[in-house]
């Protein structure tokens, strides 16, 4: 094969690969929802919450490229996972979208159909606060869909028991007001805490000893990522654009790619995703209170029986003296028996 032919073949392969990746990025990837699984292991996670699944998704961006068909596919993806808890990270509508009564109804029905037996929660994104109309619409849709908005406040997450972890929601850093003092006011430092905030760079503004894990969105993972640059790099996602990061060696910041697109309907090396966090308790198994009360009673009773069967020291001394006297008496009788034959012999003589 001639060198020129080889070059043409190589260029053809490169063009075919580039064409496929381009087609995938603009036509397939934006509609392809990946499921990322993470395990959160900690001694602070109580055993009653072991194996609980928390699903996190963000950046729906409804109304421009995200339509009702894509939304229904997302709902099916979420419900097929059967999460125990669902958390939405903000940006319900796309920045350029026009919200109306019909779209509000579509969103309400979709979010209401998401099933999570231990609760559904949400935080404000910057698009949700773009105007008072947007903020009111977000609040009503979440309320009607049984989502509780965590806006600078915390809730205790339980699973049929008294043990719990905390979920803390912070307002976004762009056009919201982040109030950590209020948000963490009732959070015990001994309890495991998952903090949710739309903007990832907000993680740098809070005390390192408050969260154990920090969930964020906003950046879409760059939306189209080219290793050293990205197609979408919004404010408050400049220090941390995508992926997981250790903040001051104290807690982990985890940024989801989100599920929608904005400005351009494209995804490259940053597929839309939902993230499922599996709680893994490393806490020591506690002995039930009833067992703790019963065990000492048995031990005391056993000890009492042992004490009752013990021979007192005085009795032991008396018995020892009696034995010694018996031994002396036996010895004297033995000596008398030995002397009798001698006396009889003397009489015979």
CB-based contact 123:217 (threshold 8 Å): no
Residue at 296 is within a domain: no
Grouping H, G, I as helix, E, B as strand and the rest as coil, residue 252 is strand
pLDDT tens by residue, the chain, 349 residues: 788 887 888 888 999 999 999 999 999 999 999 999 999 999 999 999 999 999 999 999 999 999 999 999 999 999 999 999 999 999 999 999 999 999 999 999 999 999 999 999 999 999 999 999 999 999 999 999 999 999 999 999 999 899 999 999 999 999 999 999 999 999 998 999 999 999 999 999 999 999 999 999 999 999 999 988 999 999 999 999 999 999 999 999 999 999 999 999 999 999 999 999 999 999 987 655 555 554 454 455 545 554 554 544 554 455 555 545 555 555 555 444 444 444 444 344 3
The domain total for the chain is 1
- Can you give the pLDDT at residue 4? 81
pLDDT of 250 reads 96
Alpha helices in 168-288 (DSSP H): 180-183
pLDDT score recorded for residue 11: 87
Of 200, 103, 205, 196, which Cα lies nearest the Cα of 155?
196
Per the domain annotation, does 249 fall within a domain?
A: yes
Q: Does 178 reside within a domain?
A: yes
pLDDT score, position 306: 45
Q: Which residues are CB-contacts of 330 (< 8 A; sequence separation ≥ 6)?
A: none
Sequence-distant (≥ 6) Cβ neighbours of residue 87 within 8 angstroms: 54, 55, 56, 57, 120, 121, 122, 123, 167, 196, 215
Domain membership of residue 21 (yes or no) is: no
Query: Which domain CATH number covers 59?
Result: 3.60.21
Range of the domain at 59: 33-281
- Taking the CA atoms of residue 61, residue 67, residue 70 and residue 71 in that order, the dihedral angle to the nearest 10 degrees is 70
Task: Give the per-residue pLDDT at 6.
Answer: 79
CB contact at 8 A, 199 and 238: no
Q: How many residues does the chain have?
A: 349
């Amino acid at each position: 094969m001639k060198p020129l032919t080889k070059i043409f073949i190589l260029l053809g392969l490169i063009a075919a690969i580039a064409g496929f990746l381009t087609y995938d990025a603009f036509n397939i990837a934006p509609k392809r929802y990946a499921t990322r699984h993470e395990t959160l292991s900690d001694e602070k996670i109580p055993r009653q919450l072991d194996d609980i699944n928390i699903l996190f998704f963000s950046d729906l961006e409804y109304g421009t490229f995200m339509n009702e068909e894509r939304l229904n596919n997302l709902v099916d993806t979420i419900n097929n996972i059967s999460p125990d808890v669902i958390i939405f990270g903000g940006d319900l509508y796309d920045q350029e979208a026009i919200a109306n009564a019909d779209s509000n109804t579509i969103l309400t029905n979709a979010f209401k159909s998401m099933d999570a037996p231990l609760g559904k929660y949400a935080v404000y994104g910057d698009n949700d606060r773009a105007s008072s109309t947007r903020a009111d619409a977000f609040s009503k849709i979440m309320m009607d869909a049984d989502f509780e908005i965590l806006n600078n406040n915390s809730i205790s997450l339980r699973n049929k028991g008294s043990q719990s972890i905390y979920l803390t929601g912070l307002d976004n850093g762009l056009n919201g007001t982040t109030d950590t003092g209020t948000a963490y006011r009732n959070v015990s430092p001994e309890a495991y805490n998952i903090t949710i905030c739309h903007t990832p760079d907000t993680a740098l503004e809070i005390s390192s000893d408050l969260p154990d894990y920090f969930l964020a969105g906003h950046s879409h993972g760059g939306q189209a990522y080219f290793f050293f640059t990205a197609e979408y790099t919004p404010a408050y996602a400049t220090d941390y654009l995508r992926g997981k990061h250790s903040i001051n060696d104290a807690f982990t910041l985890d940024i989801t790619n989100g599920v929608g697109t904005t400005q351009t309907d494209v995804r490259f090396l940053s597929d839309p995703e939902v993230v499922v966090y599996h709680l893994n308790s490393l806490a020591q198994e506690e002995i039930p209170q009833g067992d703790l009360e019963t065990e000492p009673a048995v031990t005391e009773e056993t000890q009492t029986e042992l004490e009752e069967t013990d021979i007192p020291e005085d009795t032991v001394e008396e018995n020892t003296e009696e034995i010694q006297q018996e031994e002396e008496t036996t010895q004297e009788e033995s000596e008398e028996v030995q002397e009798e034959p001698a006396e009889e012999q003397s009489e015979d003589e």
